């Protein structure tokens, strides 16, 4: 039956659009095994287009496959779900999902599936920066690829191994890594030529050109061949990428006319495609070409184009984030509304059922009274039973009303939490827009002056320390922002573990040791052996590191900074810096505080302590501050530990 329906499906597929026809079959068929296969096909269709939709269909396939014992379908659906999660950058969930798929496929001895799972696990490790683990998984996948003579799988694995050894060669310039990278990429190229995989050929040829940068003739040959393939196949994205690689190639050789030629082609394609990212990248090369040809007017014009594209790209990203948050909120709201409607329907059905039961009881009583007078006592008992049933129905109705009220209260709490989160995000973006504007404006002005030859070398050297401070400030702010955004988007939850508190403080001290030495501070760390706590190590480390950075920043040269532990669950950080008045202390953990420069002009971000407070709240910890102007400041972090 399953095979017959699948044959019908394949015939139907040629007559209508793929996803619509599958969903049509799902609604018509009553065979759950067929539905499981069709849900998998839908997930496979959508994983490169819409990851959330792909995950939804894959989960449906997994549920049905588990119910029916279809292990192969479950393994395939888990694999598609893992790929979609990787594209969405959910590395941890992607790794867990692919490991589940691999376990099923190993049990089934599915060689092709094991190749696929090992390759995808390697891709997760590669994207997550764990290069050694990625290479191990690629080697395992290659064994299955060679055993099954899977040429397409072999080409992907050879390409990935070539990338791995190419990265190693760039890092350490080892001839052995270079030879291995070249060998694997050439094997991948040979198979892709045999399979006529044109898109894959463009990718591998571009990688070979990067690997052959010492042989400029060979490198340019690879790129020109890749460009011809991309043009023949009307592959706009690959064509733009190759044109940019050619621009970069000629830029290294200072052939500015060629740089301009290829960058203009790339820019026009990006403009036609309305791609802000590629417009910005092409404009970079056009700026360098114009500067190399002393055409400063064109350089300025392309600089304006790049700035406009970057701003548009930034706005697109912000709009996408807001849209995703809104979709998430609306989805949760709809789910709660569906639950409420289901409960109301259940209550209505129950009320109708009880009403019908009561009517039946009354009808029986009337019939009995009409024909049998002597049966009056039994009728009375039946009426009494009906009354008891009515009371039970009333009690059940009241219970349902209480549950509905509880649901409403919970929904209200969620709405309040979302409002609070949105307000905090608005505060963060307000601080970012304020702190980014001044450094970028300063850097832009200095670059313009230097570009127009209005600054001498001596004057540039004088302003370089200022540029370094500004860029340090920007780096610090962006680092804090990334930590905050990752926590806000739910990528990381509180991960509790037991660890040595002094080791955590020592790690932060080592990171800041150069600043302590530069300012000649009298730094002391009173240690107590065996001081262990149980909480989230990364979040507590962030809090300690930020407080230490502020203590060093606002303590003058030769001052004193002390770290000790008054209690087993308390860290005290004390400095002899400038101190703060009470009104400033009251604003420390809010968006009303304005970042001040340190004793040596160090810039701040204005959001560090706000994030410290948010992380402390998530851990159940408390931060207390005592400060006196001209005397110094003391921070106490009281940790809520698990007993």
In the prediction, which pLDDT does 395 show?
A: 85
Range of the domain at 369: 323-451
Q: What is the pLDDT of residue 84?
A: 92
Dist CA 490 CA 157 (whole Å): 33
Residue 96 lies in a domain: yes
Under 8 Å between Cβ of 484 and 611: yes
CA–CA dist 621, 570 (Å, integer):
10
Contact 18, 43 (CB under 8 A): no
- Between CA 371 and CA 378 the distance in angstroms is 13
State the Cα–Cα distance between residues 3 and 21, nearest whole angstrom.
18
Average pLDDT over residues 151-158: 90
How far apart are the C-alpha atoms of 249 and 266, rounded to whole Å? 14
Residues 6+ apart with CB under 8 A from 324: none
Residue 140 falls inside a structural domain:
yes
**CATH code at position 18:** 1.25.40.10
Residues 443 and 508 reside in one and the same domain: no
Tell whether 45 and 130 lie within a shared domain. Answer: yes
- Lowest mean pLDDT of 191-205, 331-345, 506-520, name the range: 331-345
Least trusted range by pLDDT, from 184-193, 447-456, 607-616: 447-456
Write the pLDDT tens digit of every residue in 558-588. Answer: 999 999 999 888 999 999 998 999 998 888 8
Q: Is residue 127 a contact partner of residue 91, using CB atoms and an 8 Å limit?
A: yes
pLDDT above 80: residue 336? no
300 within domain boundaries: no
Average pLDDT over every residue of 46-58: 89
Asked whether residue 403 is domain-assigned, the answer is yes
The reply to whether 590 falls in a domain is: yes
| 559 falls within a domain | yes
User: Quick check: is 107 in a domain?
Assistant: yes
436 and 360 within one domain: yes
Same domain, 35 and 104: yes
pLDDT of residue 5: 35
Same domain, 338 and 399: yes
Kindly list the distances between the CA atom of residue 509 and the CA atoms of 331, 548, 561, in Å, as whole numbers in the listed order.
45, 8, 11
Give kind and range of the element (H or E) at residue 634: strand 632-638
Among candidate residues 451, 475, 504, the one where a domain is terminated? 451
Computed over every residue of the chain, the mean pLDDT equals: 82
Q: Which has more confidence, 347 or 485?
A: 347
CA angle (409, 411, 414) in 5-degree steps: 115
Give me the mean pLDDT over the 222-251 stretch. Answer: 85
316 in a domain, yes or no?
Answer: no
In DSSP notation, 512-576 reads THHHHHHTT-EEEE---TT-EEEEEHHHHHHHHHHHHHHHHHTSPTT-EEEEE-SSTTEEEEEE-
pLDDT at 96 > cutoff 80? yes
615 and 509 share one domain: yes
Average pLDDT of the segment spanning 416-442 = 60
pLDDT digits (tens, 9 = 90+) for 173-228: 889 988 898 899 989 989 988 888 888 888 888 888 888 777 778 888 888 888 88
pLDDT at 433 (0 to 100): 55
Contacts of 593 (CB under 8 A, 6+ apart): 584, 587, 606, 609
Crossing angle of helices 151-172/175-195, nearest 10°?
Answer: 150
At a CB cut-off of 8 Å and minimum separation 6, what does 476 contact? 604, 605, 608
151 contacts 112 by C-beta, under 8 angstroms: no
Lowest mean pLDDT among 337-346, 428-437, 493-502, 516-525: 428-437
Give the model confidence (pLDDT) of 362-394 as tens digits.
988 899 888 888 888 887 888 888 888 888 878
Which of 159-173, 259-273, 317-331, 616-630 shows the lowest per-residue confidence on average (mean pLDDT)?
317-331
Identify whether residues 396 and 517 lie together within a single domain: no
Looking at residue 65, what is its pLDDT?
A: 93
Name the range with the highest mean pLDDT among 4-8, 100-104, 598-602.
Answer: 100-104
Residues 557/599, Cβ–Cβ less than 8 Å: yes
Q: Are residues 403 and 532 in the same domain?
A: no
Give the pLDDT score at 339. Answer: 64
- Claim to verify: residue 443 and residue 507 sit in the same structural domain: no
> Which domain-ending residue is among 114, 149, 184?
149
Query: Residue 319: pLDDT above 70?
Result: no
Domain count, the chain: 3
Instruction: Note the pLDDT of residue 434.
Output: 46
pLDDT at 478 over 90: no
Percentage of the chain exceeding pLDDT 90 = 32
Q: Residues 15, 128: one domain?
A: yes
Q: Quick one: 360 exposed, middle or buried, by C-beta within 10 A (0-12, 13-18, 19+)?
A: exposed
**Are residues 396 and 514 located together in one domain of the fold?**
no
Boundary of a domain, candidates 127, 149, 171? 149
Residues 518 and 607 in one domain: yes
Name which of 239, 167, 253, 176 is nearest 210 in CA terms.
167
Asked whether the predicted pLDDT for residue 12 surpasses 90, the reply is no
pTM of the model: 0.44
| 507 contacts 541 by C-beta, under 8 angstroms | yes
Q: What is the CATH number of the domain that holds 583?
A: 3.30.565.10
Burial class, 353, CB count within 10 angstroms (exposed 0-12 / middle 13-18 / buried 19+): exposed
Report the pLDDT value the prediction gives residue 491, as an integer from 0 to 100. 44
Compute the distance between CA of residue 552 and CA of residue 554 in angstroms, rounded to an integer: 6
């Amino acid at each position: 039956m399953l095979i017959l329906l699948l044959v019908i499906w394949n015939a139907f597929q040629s007559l209508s659009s793929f996803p619509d026809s599958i969903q049509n079959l799902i609604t018509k068929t009553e065979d759950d095994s067929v539905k499981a296969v069709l849900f998998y096909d839908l997930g496979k269709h959508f994983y490169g287009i819409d990851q959330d939709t792909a995950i939804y269909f894959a989960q449906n396939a997994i549920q049905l496959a588990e119910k029916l014992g279809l292990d192969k379908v479950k393994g395939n659906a888990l694999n598609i779900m893992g790929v979609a999660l990787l594209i969405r950058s959910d590395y941890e969930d992607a790794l867990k999902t692919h490991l589940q798929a691999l376990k099923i496929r190993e049990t089934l001895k599915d060689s092709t599936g094991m190749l696929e799972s090992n390759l995808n696990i390697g891709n997760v490790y590669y994207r997550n920066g764990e290069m050694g683990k990625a290479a191990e998984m690629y080697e395992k996948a290659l064994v299955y690829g060679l055993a099954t003579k899977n040429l397409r799988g072999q080409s992907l694995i050879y390409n990935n191994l070539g990338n791995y050894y190419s990265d190693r060669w760039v890092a350490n310039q080892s001839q052995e890594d270079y030879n291995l990278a070249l060998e694997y990429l050439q094997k991948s190229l040979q198979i892709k030529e045999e399979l006529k995989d044109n898109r894959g050929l463009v990718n591998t040829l571009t990688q070979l050109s990067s690997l052959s940068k010492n042989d400029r003739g060979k490198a340019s040959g690879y790129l020109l061949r890749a460009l011809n393939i991309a043009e023949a196949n009307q592959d706009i994205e690959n064509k733009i990428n190759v044109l940019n690689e050619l621009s970069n190639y000629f830029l290294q050789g200072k052939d500015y006319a060629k740089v301009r030629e290829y960058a203009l082609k790339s820019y026009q394609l990006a403009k036609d495609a309305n791609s802000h990212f590629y417009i910005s990248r092409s404009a970079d090369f056009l700026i360098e070409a114009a500067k190399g040809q002393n055409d400063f007017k064109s350089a300025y014009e392309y600089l304006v184009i790049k700035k406009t594209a970057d701003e548009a790209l930034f706005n697109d990203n912000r709009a996408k984030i807001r849209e995703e948050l809104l979709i998430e909120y609306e989805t949760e709201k709809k789910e709660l509304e569906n639950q409420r409607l289901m409960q109301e329907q259940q209550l209505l059905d129950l009320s109708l059922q009880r009403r019908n039961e009561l009517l039946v009881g009354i009808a029986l009583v009337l019939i009995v009274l009409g024909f049998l007078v002597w049966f009056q006592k039994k009728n009375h008992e039946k009426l009494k039973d009906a009354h008891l049933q009515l009371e039970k129905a009333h009690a059940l109705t009241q219970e349902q009303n209480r549950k509905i009220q509880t649901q409403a209260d919970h929904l209200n709490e969620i709405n309040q939490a979302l409002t609070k989160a949105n307000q905090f995000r608005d505060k963060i973006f307000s601080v970012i827009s304020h702190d980014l504007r001044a450094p970028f404006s300063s850097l832009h002005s200095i670059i313009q002056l230097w570009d127009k030859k209005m600054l001498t070398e001596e004057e540039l050297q004088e302003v370089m320390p200022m540029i370094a401070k500004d860029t340090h400030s920007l780096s610090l702010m962006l680092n804090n922002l990334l930590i905050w955004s990752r926590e806000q988007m739910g990528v990381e939850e509180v991960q509790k573990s037991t660890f040595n508190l002094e080791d955590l403080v020592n790690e932060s001290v080592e990171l800041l040791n150069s600043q302590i030495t530069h300012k000649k501070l009298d730094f002391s760390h009173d240690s107590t052996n065996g001081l262990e706590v149980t909480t989230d190590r990364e979040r507590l480390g962030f809090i300690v590191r930020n407080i230490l950075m502020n203590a060093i920043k606002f303590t003058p040269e030769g001052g004193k900074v002390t770290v000790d532990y008054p209690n087993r669950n308390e860290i005290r950080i004390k400095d002899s810096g400038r101190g703060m008045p009470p009104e400033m202390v009251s604003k420390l953990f809010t968006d009303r505080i304005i970042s001040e420069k340190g004793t040596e002009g160090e810039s701040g971000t204005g959001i560090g302590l706000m994030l410290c407070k948010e992380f402390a709240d998530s851990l159940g910890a408390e931060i207390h501050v005592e400060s006196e102007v001209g005397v110094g400041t003391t921070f106490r972090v009281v940790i809520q530990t698990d007993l």
